[in-house]
Amino acid sequence: MVCHEIRQIYKKLYKEFGPQDWWPVIGNKTNSKFEIMIGTILTQNTSWKNVEKAIINLSKEKLISPIKIISSKKIKKCIHPAGYYNQKYNYLIELSRWYLKNKDKINQMKTKELKEELLSIKGVGPETADSIILYAFNRPVFVVDAYTKRFLERHKLIQRSEMSDYYAVQNIFHRCYSKLSQDEKVRIYKEYHALIVELGKRYCRKKPNCDNCPIKYM
């Protein structure tokens, strides 16, 4: 029953909002893997608008590379709009060092190993790691964020007590789409996560706007 509702909600949101084509592209260019990785760090505890400003700053200074992240003194100033810039600067340094060390063997890593590697980096938790795995490396893992937990709890698809268990929530989506191919899972997981974000920004806020919500009666 839960899986039926999960799949129906996806269809409804897709019909309402259309394809989101995430990860968000800045300007008219295609995101590089490393730019997406930077974005997952910068987006912690801030809005995408602020992340966009920071990435534009880095791009103008031609600093979107792991070597330049490590060596440039301009990084903090560039990422200032994203907030917590001292902390995020340190996280970006650690991520860049990891990427330089592992970039040639990432494609050979199994997803579980890649996840463990990413979680060993300071500043990378489950949501950040899964964002990198899904959006930068096109591996089928569902990204669980605050919007996801909120809408599931409000629709009584999870209990409030389950909201703190990242992997229990993630497993709902993995279970519901278990029969799809790897490529189909990646496509659905990217799209679904982006649609949930859109739902959260427009309707399923901390103070909800349920009257106009497209999944109000689901």
Give yes or no for residue 30 having a pLDDT over 70.
no
Query: What is the domain range of residue 69?
Result: 33-136
Does residue 170 form part of some domain?
yes
Whether residues 37 and 111 fall in one domain: yes
Give yes or no for residue 26 having a pLDDT over 80.
no
Q: How many domains does the chain have?
A: 2
Whether residues 43 and 99 fall in one domain: yes
CA 72 to chain centre: 26
> Given 95, 118, 136, which residue is the final one in a domain?
136
Region of 27 (left: φ > 0; alpha: ψ -120 to 50; beta: rest) is left
State the pLDDT at residue 218. Answer: 77
Whether residues 118 and 160 fall in one domain: no
Give yes or no for residue 25 having a pLDDT over 80.
no
Residues 50-97: tens digit of each pLDDT: 999 999 999 999 999 999 999 999 999 999 999 999 999 999 999 999
